[in-house]
Structure 1
Amino acid sequence: MKYIKTVCVAGIVWFSHAAYADSFIQSNLSTLPQYNTALLSNGISLYGVVDVGLNYQSVGGKSLWQMQSGGVHTSQFGFFGREDLGGGLKAVFNLESGFELNNGSLEMSQTLFDREAWVGLSSTTWGDLRVGRQPSANLPDVADPYGEVVTNSVVTWLAGGAVQTRKGIGYNADLGPGSSQVLVRESNAVSWTTPRVAGLGATFLYAFNGTQGVAPYALNEGVVASWTNASLYLAAAYNQVWSTPVATASGTQTVRNDIYGVSAIYDVGTFVLSAAFDQVAPHLAGNGIARSYMLGGILPFGPHALRASFVYRDTSGVRDDAGLPAKDSALGVMLGYDYNLSKRTGLYARAGLIRNYGISSVILNGTPLPTQPGSAAPEQGTTPLTVSLGMYHKF
């Protein structure tokens, strides 16, 4: 399973679609130079984040203490370049690599630029065209107060549907074969982001599956549209995601997943409120449907910031191992505190849990659930818990 790993990927959409002086989100994103459009008009720049912390996890009566990278921001480094071609047109590119600061390994084995690797053209009249590995056309990650970072976000794991089954961990695996999710970024993708007109803008994306003889040619087709006016930002997204070929009652086939989402962010600088809804509906007879609901908030004061998010995931049409309809829902809570030593350096504390109900078996922070005695099936009704203390620095 490819876990969702991100730290401000939404900044690309946020800066092109919503820029206002008093935004708390924008002021934080602007400390990363690849999102500060005023920083560079020509040339190449290096940027990155280093983030590591002490993490405690507990699930099913077992506990773990460890060093963990990426508690607030995925540890990363990248290069971005811009060349002014005149007439409002620029050539642009971005190469970005994630890594584990606690041991120095690559975030994705044998893939150097796992986070971004694209080239394109940017026009003040026609918008932005990009080709390569890039963020998907989905709701902004900043709707989650924790930016959907992989280590300390119940949105990443619960709304993302990271479900453990007998066969392992997969996106929305409890819904049936071929069930999937929108990844934070897609390879082999072409995207176009429109200029913003009267507060309205959109991004369209098409990603090829890159596999010979597998139809359709698409891996993901997506669009996200948004509107902003001063401190309010609204977004709606629709994606069609195709699974790899899987065994079904009708034989081996790819399964299309229709994934809908809406979100709202109210950011006045002194506080941020957000809400989001997401639905995953696989197009396969007998599969279930998952819906997630998120509420979040950030309260900054001086060098401090308090954060909270609440996520509820519910399903319909899900059956247990005996083929009977089953309750399958979960509630997640994440609380956080930040202390900013400067605009680029901060300390943080995080604590969160996911309460699984019925046959739900969603994991948190990548730690597998214990299995049932003599079986590969995970324990049901467990409550994975995580606590982290750490530090980050942006450069």
Structure 2
Amino acid sequence: MNYKKTVCAAGMALLSHAAFADSYLLNELSQWPQIESSQRSGISLYGAVDMGFNYQSVSGTSRWQTQSGGVHTSQFGLFGREDLGGGLKAEFNLESGFMANTGTFGTSNTLFDRAAWVGLNSASWGVVRFGLQPTANLPQFIDPFGEVTTNSVVTWLAGGAVQTPRGVGYNADLGPGSSQILVRESNSMTWTTPRVAGFGATFMYAFNGTNGVSPYASNQGVVASWTNGSLYLAGAYNRVWSSPVEIEGTSQTVRNDIYGVSAIYDVGSYVLSAAFAQVAPNLAANGIARSYLVGATLPWGRNALRASVVYRDTSGVRDAAGNPAKDSALGMMFGYDYSLSKRTSLYARAGFIRNYGISTVILNSNPLPLQTGTASPELGTTPLTASVGIYHLF
């Protein structure tokens, strides 16, 4: 599952406020290659190489492995900007993820799987972009671990990565057609407004790209935010349509209404964050999932301690026999970073997800063991993960 978010839109909102200049997040984001490249004209090459060693365990089964992307998705990208005069600029971004431990593409047979868009940037009326780009959702840095697809319980638990006999699906325990906001959308158009008095918003419309599938949209979304320097508030609403599924003998898409609100408080010496999100499939027999997140980062000198706690609860969910069932999970992640330089850091991560009732959320791509003689995953499991690694940004 590809759930890594990008930081550029929300990061730029923070960077636009001089009052935030001494904050921890601003200093951290300003060093990220994507942000730095987007500040200058011409064409810039940027990227990250992140490698580590990872331990995973669930129900007595454990393994060690090398791991790419423990903090930053290993990637390379091109960002280009031309000044057209009168406050208008043309921009493009091409970005590809890869596995640093094998050298393979992050997505098979796809060169630019993380960004492929072109647009216009105006100081007067905002930014318009067309192509593969981030969705209109809450910012990635609400999670102290950046919602990577490895060492983040937010990615897997708040994202609803549920294992079923048919595989892992977003919020698959809620019923047929249940989905989630994708990290990025192909065939999409966005407009980001200028930021006025701390307020700004991004609107998205993404086409499904499939002939004969109604509606034409795969995602319609908006995220609005406000910041005064130390406080950053955001709210998002998205309509996401599933791929066609069989429901009562007919093939149809299911609309998912997804709401979220978040807050970040950053005074430099510490960062606190909190968020709430709800996924509600627009199908009478389906359940609803709600997730709650709190996070904290404590930096000092070259060091930083991080922690996050996520709780996912559902209502209206039924077990395999059709009976109402308890379905919830609690996740925690802890981390430590040591900066060797502006570009290079060492890190350590450890966390778990505790599944209750019929919940079968996985962690760090590690599949749950199956019940004897079936394709159904075991219930009541607690997947664990721990990693150490190094990353370099360029």
| Fold-level similarity (TM above 0.5) | yes
346 and 252 in structure 1: CA distance in 2 versus 1, 3 angstrom threshold: same
The aligned counterpart of 1:10 is: 7
Q: Does 1:295 align with 2:294?
A: yes
> How many angstroms apart in 1 are the aligned matches of 2:228 and 2:39?
25
Secondary structure of the corresponding residue to residue 386 of structure 2: strand
The aligned counterpart of 2:58 is: 59
Say which is worse superposed, 13-22 or 49-58, in terms of deviation. Answer: 13-22
Q: Which amino acid aligns with 2:252?
A: Q
The aligned counterpart of 2:219 is: 220
Q: Which amino acid aligns with 2:76?
A: F
Contact 2:11 2:29 survives alignment (8 Å): no
Secondary structure of the corresponding residue to residue 12 of structure 1: helix
> How many angstroms apart in 2 are the aligned matches of 1:164 and 1:360?
9
The aligned counterpart of 1:68 is: 67
| 1:262-311 per-position Cα deviation (integer Å, ceiling 9, x unaligned) | 00000111110000000000001210000000000000000000000000
| 1:120-147 per-position Cα deviation (integer Å, ceiling 9, x unaligned) | 0000001000000000000001000011
Q: Which amino acid aligns with 1:232?
A: L
Query: Identical aligned pairs, as a percentage?
Result: 71
Secondary structure of the corresponding residue to residue 156 of structure 2: helix
How far residue 39 of structure 1 moved from its aligned partner, in angstroms, is 4.3
Secondary structure of the corresponding residue to residue 197 of structure 2: coil
> How many angstroms apart in 2 are the aligned matches of 1:390 and 1:37?
25
> How many angstroms apart in 1 are the aligned matches of 2:146 and 2:249?
39
Say which is worse superposed, 279-288 or 19-28, in terms of deviation. Answer: 19-28
38 and 286 in structure 1: CA distance in 2 versus 1, 3 angstrom threshold: closer
The aligned counterpart of 1:167 is: 166
The aligned counterpart of 1:252 is: 251
| 1:327-354 per-position Cα deviation (integer Å, ceiling 9, x unaligned) | 0000000000000001110000000000
The aligned counterpart of 1:211 is: 210
| 1:32-65 per-position Cα deviation (integer Å, ceiling 9, x unaligned) | 2331378412x10100000010000001110010
Say which is worse superposed, 197-206 or 242-251, in terms of deviation. Answer: 242-251
Contact 1:15 1:26 survives alignment (8 Å): no
Q: Which amino acid aligns with 2:55?
A: Y
> How many angstroms apart in 1 are the aligned matches of 2:367 and 2:308?
22
> How many angstroms apart in 1 are the aligned matches of 2:194 and 2:23?
20
Q: Which amino acid aligns with 1:134?
A: Q
How far residue 251 of structure 1 moved from its aligned partner, in angstroms, is 1.9
The aligned counterpart of 1:241 is: 240
74 and 37 in structure 1: CA distance in 2 versus 1, 3 angstrom threshold: closer
The aligned counterpart of 1:141 is: 140
The aligned counterpart of 2:340 is: 341
160 and 38 in structure 1: CA distance in 2 versus 1, 3 angstrom threshold: closer
Secondary structure of the corresponding residue to residue 91 of structure 2: strand
How far residue 249 of structure 1 moved from its aligned partner, in angstroms, is 2.4
> How many angstroms apart in 2 are the aligned matches of 1:92 and 1:336?
36
The aligned counterpart of 1:90 is: 89
17 and 325 in structure 1: CA distance in 2 versus 1, 3 angstrom threshold: same
> How many angstroms apart in 2 are the aligned matches of 1:36 and 1:348?
22
> How many angstroms apart in 2 are the aligned matches of 1:252 and 1:170?
18
Query: What TM-score results when the alignment is normalised by the length of structure 2?
Result: 0.98
250 and 227 in structure 1: CA distance in 2 versus 1, 3 angstrom threshold: farther
> How many angstroms apart in 2 are the aligned matches of 1:38 and 1:310?
32
The aligned counterpart of 2:21 is: 21
> How many angstroms apart in 1 are the aligned matches of 2:332 and 2:32?
28
> How many angstroms apart in 1 are the aligned matches of 2:8 and 2:88?
21
| 1:99-155 per-position Cα deviation (integer Å, ceiling 9, x unaligned) | 000010111001110000000000000100000000000000100001101100000
Q: Give the total of aligned pairs.
A: 391
Q: Which runs of 5+ in 2 are unaligned?
A: none
Q: Which amino acid aligns with 2:151?
A: N
| 1:175-230 per-position Cα deviation (integer Å, ceiling 9, x unaligned) | 00000000111111000000001111000000000000000000000000001112
> How many angstroms apart in 1 are the aligned matches of 2:168 and 2:365?
9
> How many angstroms apart in 1 are the aligned matches of 2:101 and 2:53?
10
How far residue 22 of structure 1 moved from its aligned partner, in angstroms, is 1.5
> How many angstroms apart in 1 are the aligned matches of 2:177 and 2:220?
16
Contact 1:5 1:150 survives alignment (8 Å): yes
How far residue 317 of structure 1 moved from its aligned partner, in angstroms, is 0.2
> How many angstroms apart in 1 are the aligned matches of 2:254 and 2:238?
13
The aligned counterpart of 2:266 is: 267
The aligned counterpart of 2:197 is: 198
Secondary structure of the corresponding residue to residue 22 of structure 1: coil
Q: Which amino acid aligns with 1:230?
A: G
How far residue 11 of structure 1 moved from its aligned partner, in angstroms, is 3.0
Q: Which amino acid aligns with 2:8?
A: G
Contact 2:37 2:44 survives alignment (8 Å): no
Contact 2:338 2:345 survives alignment (8 Å): yes
Q: Which runs of 5+ in 1 are unaligned?
A: none
Contact 2:138 2:261 survives alignment (8 Å): yes
How far residue 27 of structure 1 moved from its aligned partner, in angstroms, is 1.2
Q: Which amino acid aligns with 2:77?
A: G
> How many angstroms apart in 1 are the aligned matches of 2:214 and 2:14?
34
Contact 2:34 2:47 survives alignment (8 Å): no
How far residue 25 of structure 1 moved from its aligned partner, in angstroms, is 1.4
Q: Over aligned residues, Cα RMSD in angstroms?
A: 1.1
The aligned counterpart of 2:177 is: 178
